[in-house]
Amino acid sequence: MSSGIANAAARLTRPVSGSVPSRHRTRLPLIVTAVLLVAMFAVGSVRYEGFLSAQVVLNLLIDNGFLLVVAIGATFVILTGGIDLSVGSMIALSTMTTAWMVEQQGWPLATAVPLVLMIGAGSGALMGWIIHTFEIQPFIVTLAGMFLARGLCYMISTESITINDPTTVRIAQTRLYGPGGLFVSVSVVIALAVLLIAFVVLHHTRFGRGVYAVGGNESSARLMGLPVGSIKVAVYAISGLCSALAGLLLTFYMLSGYPLHAMGMELDAIAATVIGGTLLTGGSGFVLGTALGVLVLGMIQTVINFQGTLSSWWTRIVIGVLLFVFIVFQRLMTGRRPAAD
């Protein structure tokens, strides 16, 4: 018995645990996503003039920095085998709360930002606590959170709140220039910082190994003495915090708060996570894969914009096809077979 526990503890130190036995196989989706991104960029460079530019890649980050942040939070949750449907509504609530405090109440941005982040983290932690304590499916709890956050947006205002606060406008319009006149926004720097922190936490800390262990086999993780409840609460708190931060970045991007902001973005975050190679069953995935998934979604939109003759709905069609492909690919990769009738 003691040797079995020792072996299980040894497996916990690996970056990925669960049903995928080989480290190379767990990295295969990451490689496939990277190859897909490079292939899309290569095809776009051949077909469209001006596509072959480093600024095009940087624009992907500028336009999708908030999606990257929220997708990182979703990755933590999905790695434990859970799901968070409230993130889109929490982003909208963050934009509305920020706009209301800064524009209508006259609060300084430095005061509004910590409060918005606390609201996001606190709401996520509450949902995580309910999920663990009452053993309710995450889908139901976070669905309730989705409706609640969206409803609170309309309690603040049913109309868009435009932000004219000088500090907020200055941050939103700031460009950080690099070699050759290339530039990024402040939101890109924040999003990349979040990505770096998430990478270190997931792959180089005990908490990160615990996240993988809970997603790989919750019962085994509990037998090994891991604080399963605390880990679950923490990952939903991280998801809520990332959602609130993504809402702040979207506020800088749009310079407004609006109850209909980020409609369906929870599905975009899940799609980016799955395309990036994270298993929906939990226990396997890389946060860098999620970043590649976000870039793939952005590249799809960019190609469609360069084409000029296609409706924006083609973005959803292509994403849907990619999701089907990656879900089937995950199924084949794990080597699981459907149960016989």
Q: Cβ contacts of residue 204 below 8 Å, gap of 6+?
A: none
- Flag whether 71 is in a domain: yes
Tens-digit pLDDT string for the chain (341 aa): 444 444 444 444 444 344 334 455 667 888 889 999 999 999 999 999 888 889 999 999 999 999 999 999 999 999 999 999 999 999 999 999 999 999 999 999 999 999 999 999 999 999 999 999 999 999 999 999 999 999 999 999 999 999 999 999 999 999 999 998 999 999 999 999 999 999 999 999 999 999 999 999 999 999 999 999 999 999 999 999 999 999 999 999 999 999 999 999 999 999 999 999 999 889 989 999 999 999 999 999 998 888 877 777 788 888 888 888 888 887 777 665 444 33
Residue among 109, 21, 324, 72 at smallest CA distance from 208? 72
Q: Which two tokens stand for residue 16?
A: 């990925």
> Which CATH number do you get for residue 304?
1.10.3470
Q: What is the number of structural domains in the chain?
A: 1
- Flag whether 263 is in a domain: yes
322 CB neighbour count, 10 Å cutoff: 19
- Flag whether 2 is in a domain: no
pTM: 0.89
206: left (phi over 0), alpha (psi -120 to 50) or beta: alpha
- Flag whether 5 is in a domain: no
Q: From residue 65, give the alpha-carbon distance in Å to each of 60, 61, 98, 156, 158.
A: 8, 5, 18, 26, 26
- Flag whether 340 is in a domain: no
- Flag whether 12 is in a domain: no
- Flag whether 4 is in a domain: no
Which residues span the domain enclosing 39? 19-334
- Flag whether 152 is in a domain: yes
